[in-house]
């Protein structure tokens, strides 16, 4: 029957009408849209019950946690801005290194979700601080073979990390189960109450944590119940059965698998002409900020160019049931961010993981932030190939993780969190005198954290210390250091001297050597003698002193790209 259904879906007599979306602009732009998730394969609760009646036992989610031990802290370079108070943990060495380049294939991370959005009053799941991460198994340049979800527990701040893996399976007739019918990339995962939602292109998969199954045979590569009564899920101790699947395809018919997906695959969606612009779900998260309408599922697409659509879906029917259709909220958005891999929403702000703008250091992703109608700004760089994101509204922290393959230095995968508000400028203008051309950003910092007159100002990694805060005084055109109250001043008043070391000194409104003006085109801070803030030897290494140097008239050197701002 499955084969017949797939064949029929490839022979749809009527092509869907192309789905219109606004051309990508420079802002997170709202547009009027109504997308529909259509249930395409019935509700599988009776099939799940039949498996359990046949002897497959259920287990609590917390039982999964004891099987593997992670490593607290950020064990690899992340590119995260220290002013955002980063924290996190790492998988064990095996999960850090596995990947589709392994002989025989390996596991690749994709979506990420926290139980902080699972709907409980305290942001936990049954009293535990838990996270879910989705992975797919495959071989490079071949179709994906299996998917799994990891459940991890970590309180952060160096606390122990424990986790385990759960195979995603599909119940079938006869009290049996198998791997899901359609190959899945497990692009995104979201967690609300007892439900996990997994994105797979045009497919949304729904799972229920109340039906976590305990396998009796972890040695078998097969999936399902064997003749001897043993159950297995490709070497996994636990399996989670599919409750329902939905399609974003506009021509999908209720509970008719033959109409579910274009050309029989959930991966056929997006802007390509042959996909008719049908909506993709490449990343998911839960948005708890809409107090009027209730919790929402947020999805976005992965596109190498800009124009990915962001859509919000009501969760009131999906939180426990399997409604026939779910219609999106009427306002959707397009994003100019390229290469989007993850999305989260905190308050009225969208957070997007994707490619970095031109000029940022290579080897890292970027986290972007924007409200509707705003141009996204880079919040911070982030670990290479950062994927899914999840926002914790109670702690005010943004979580994510990456899928980077190991290199000559070893594994590179990190689960991380940052506080997006920690790097903001204060209401009275105290921000950071900063340069973005080193991963994680660098901040102007008095040597040895001293505050006396004559203290040299140096390059240092941004840490969030109050000793790194500065403010631009537009009246006097001073750069004022908060902790000392002193101004950025060239040594020996050498305001017209290339290489003059910049120091702290008592602000003097009668002197012109402390005055700087942002360049109207580049924003470059330039003094009254045409000298810009630079670094000795154009080095961006910690401890390098800041100096003055003649403003470049050509391409802006990295060492001169300093500005006062919040992150």
Structure confidence by residue, pLDDT tens digits, 483-539: 999 999 999 999 999 999 999 999 999 999 999 998 877 778 999 999 999 999 999
Residue 10 has pLDDT above 80, yes or no: no
Q: Which pLDDT does position 206 carry in this prediction?
A: 99
Q: What is the DSSP letter of 425?
A: P
Q: Cβ–Cβ contacts within 10 Å for residue 79, how many? A: 25
Residue 9 has pLDDT above 80, yes or no: no
Calpha distance 368→374 (Å, rounded):
11
The 3 state secondary structure assigned to 34-66 is CCEEEECCCCCHHHHHHHHHCCCEECCHHHHHH
Residue 270 has pLDDT above 80, yes or no: yes
Q: Which pLDDT does position 18 carry in this prediction?
A: 61
Please tell me whether residue 372 adopts helix, strand or coil conformation.
coil
Could you give phi then psi for residue 95, rounded to 5 degrees?
-75, -20
- Domain residue ranges of the chain, discontinuous segments joined by +: 31-66+104-342, 431-565
Q: Residue 392: beta bridge partners?
A: 397
Which range has the worst mean pLDDT, 16-20, 62-66, 319-323, 466-470?
16-20
CA 49 to chain centre: 35
pLDDT band at 14 (very low <50, low <70, confident <90, very high): low
Read off the pLDDT of residues 202-232 as tens digits, 9 standing for 90 and up: 999 999 999 999 999 999 999 999 999 999 9
Q: Which pLDDT does position 11 carry in this prediction?
A: 37
Read off the pLDDT of residues 19-48 as tens digits, 9 standing for 90 and up: 655 556 899 999 999 999 999 999 999 999
Q: What percent of the chain has pLDDT over 90?
A: 89
Mean pLDDT, range 438-447, rounded to an integer:
97
Q: SS3 helix, strand, coil % of the chain, rounded to 5?
A: 10, 40, 50
Residue that is written with structure tokens 């955002």 in the block: 84
Q: Which pLDDT does position 23 carry in this prediction?
A: 59
Q: Which of 414, 384, 417 is nearest to 91 (CA)?
A: 414
Please tell me whether residue 127 adopts helix, strand or coil conformation.
coil
Please tell me whether residue 188 adopts helix, strand or coil conformation.
strand
Q: Which pLDDT does position 120 carry in this prediction?
A: 77
Q: Which pLDDT does position 116 carry in this prediction?
A: 86
Specify the DSSP element, H or E, that contains 5.
Answer: helix 2-9
Residue 73 has pLDDT above 90, yes or no: yes
CB neighbour list of residue 281: distance below 8 Å, 6 or more residues apart? 187, 188, 199, 200, 201, 202, 203, 204, 248, 299, 300, 301
Number of H helices, E strands in the chain: 3, 42
Q: Which of 242, 246, 247 is nearest to 169 (CA)?
A: 242
Mean pLDDT, range 99-119, rounded to an integer:
93
Q: Which pLDDT does position 492 carry in this prediction?
A: 97
pLDDT band at 451 (very low <50, low <70, confident <90, very high): very high
Cβ(164)–Cβ(69) under 8 Å? Answer: no
Q: Which pLDDT does position 524 carry in this prediction?
A: 84
pLDDT band at 7 (very low <50, low <70, confident <90, very high): very low
Q: Which pLDDT does position 21 carry in this prediction?
A: 54
Which range has the worst mean pLDDT, 17-31, 140-154, 229-243?
17-31
| φ/ψ bin of 413: left (φ > 0), alpha (ψ from -120 to 50), beta (otherwise) | beta
Distances (CA, A) of 147 to 57, 85, 261: 21, 32, 19
Calpha distance 365→362 (Å, rounded):
8
Tokens of 500: 């003059």
Cβ(286)–Cβ(297) under 8 Å? Answer: yes
Q: Which pLDDT does position 6 carry in this prediction?
A: 35
Residue that is written with structure tokens 């802002």 in the block: 27
Q: Which pLDDT does position 22 carry in this prediction?
A: 54
Residue 549 has pLDDT above 50, yes or no: yes
Q: What is the pTM of this model?
A: 0.94
Provide the terminal-to-terminal Cα distance of the chain, rounded to the nearest Å: 55
Please tell me whether residue 82 adopts helix, strand or coil conformation.
helix
Cβ(197)–Cβ(324) under 8 Å? Answer: no
Mean pLDDT, range 125-140, rounded to an integer:
96
CA 449 to chain centre: 34
Mean of per-residue pLDDT scores for the chain:
94
CA 476 to chain centre: 41
Mean pLDDT, range 175-198, rounded to an integer:
97
Residue 51 has pLDDT above 50, yes or no: yes
Which range has the worst mean pLDDT, 10-19, 48-57, 347-356, 429-438?
10-19
Could you give phi then psi for residue 474, rounded to 5 degrees?
-70, -20
Q: Which of 365, 297, 299 is nearest to 337 (CA)?
A: 365
Distances (CA, A) of 110 to 113, 287, 386, 470, 517: 10, 19, 9, 39, 45
Cβ(319)–Cβ(332) under 8 Å? Answer: no
CB neighbour list of residue 179: distance below 8 Å, 6 or more residues apart? 145, 146, 167, 168, 169, 170, 223, 234
Q: Which pLDDT does position 40 carry in this prediction?
A: 98
Tokens of 375: 């141009």
Domain 431-565 fold is Trefoil (Acidic Fibroblast Growth Factor, subunit A) (2.80.10)
pLDDT band at 119 (very low <50, low <70, confident <90, very high): confident
Number of Cα atoms under 13 Å in the Cβ half of residue 141? 0
Tokens of 434: 């900063």
Q: Which pLDDT does position 24 carry in this prediction?
A: 63
Tokens of 277: 């612009």
């Amino acid at each position: 029957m499955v084969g017949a259904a797939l064949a029929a879906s490839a022979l749809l007599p009527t092509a869907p009408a192309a789905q219109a979306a606004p051309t990508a602009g420079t802002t997170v732009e709202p547009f009027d849209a109504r997308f529909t998730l259509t249930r395409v394969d019935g509700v599988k609760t009776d099939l799940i019950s039949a498996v359990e009646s046949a002897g497959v036992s259920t287990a609590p989610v917390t039982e999964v946690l004891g099987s593997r031990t992670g490593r607290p802290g950020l064990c690899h370079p992340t590119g995260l801005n220290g002013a955002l108070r980063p924290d996190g943990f790492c998988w064990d060495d095996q999960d850090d290194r596995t990947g589709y380049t392994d002989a025989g294939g390996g596991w690749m991370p994709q979506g990420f979700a926290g139980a902080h959005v699972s709907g409980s009053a305290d942001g936990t799941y049954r009293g535990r601080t838990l996270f879910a991460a989705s992975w797919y198994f495959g071989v490079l340049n071949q179709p994906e073979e299996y998917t799994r979800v990891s459940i991890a527990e970590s309180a952060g701040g160096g606390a122990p990390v424990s986790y385990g893996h759960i195979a995603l399976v599909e119940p079938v007739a006869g009290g049996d189960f198998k791997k899901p019918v359609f190959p899945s990339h497990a692009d995104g995962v979201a967690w609300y109450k007892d439900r996990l939602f997994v994105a797979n292109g045009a497919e949304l998969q729904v799972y229920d944590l109340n039906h976590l199954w305990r396998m009796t045979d972890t040695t078998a590569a097969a999936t399902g119940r064997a003749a001897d009564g043993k159950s297995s899920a490709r070497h996994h101790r636990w399996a989670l059965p599919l409750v329902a699947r939905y399609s974003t395809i506009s021509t999908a018919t209720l509970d008719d698998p033959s109409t579910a997906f274009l050309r029989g695959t959930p991966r056929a969606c997006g802007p390509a002409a042959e996909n008719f612009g049908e909506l993709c779900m490449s990343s998911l998260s839960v948005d708890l900020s809409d107090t009027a309408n209730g919790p929402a599922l947020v999805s976005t697409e992965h596109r190498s160019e800009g124009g990915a659509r962001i859509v919000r879906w009501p969760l009131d029917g999906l939180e426990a049931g399997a409604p026939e259709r779910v219609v999106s909220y009427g306002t959707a958005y397009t994003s100019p961010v390229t290469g989007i891999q993850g999305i989260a929403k905190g308050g009225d702000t969208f957070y997007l993981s994707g490619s970095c703008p031109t000029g940022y250091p290579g080897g890292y992703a970027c986290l972007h932030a924007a409200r509707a109608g705003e141009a996204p700004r880079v919040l911070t760089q982030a670990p290479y190939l950062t994927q899914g994101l999840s926002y914790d509204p109670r702690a005010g922290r943004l979580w994510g993780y990456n899928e980077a393959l190991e290199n000559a230095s070893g594994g590179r995968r990190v689960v991380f969190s940052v506080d997006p508000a920690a790097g903001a400028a204060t209401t009275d203008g105290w921000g950071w005198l900063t340069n973005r051309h080193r991963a994680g950003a660098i901040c102007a910092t008095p040597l040895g954290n001293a505050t006396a007159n004559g203290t040299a100002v140096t390059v240092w990694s941004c840490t969030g210390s109050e000793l790194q805060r500065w403010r631009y005084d537009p009246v006097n055109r001073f750069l004022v250091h908060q902790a000392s109250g002193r101004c950025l001043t060239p040594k020996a008043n050498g305001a017209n001297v290339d290489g003059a070391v910049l120091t702290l000194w008592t602000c003097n409104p009668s002197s012109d050597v402390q005055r700087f003006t942002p360049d109207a085109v580049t924003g470059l801070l330039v003094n009254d003698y045409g000298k810009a803030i630079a670094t000795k030897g154009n080095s961006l290494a910690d401890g390098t002193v800041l100096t003055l140097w003649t403003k470049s008239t050509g391409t802006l050197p990295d060492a001169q790209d300093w500005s006062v701002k919040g992150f």
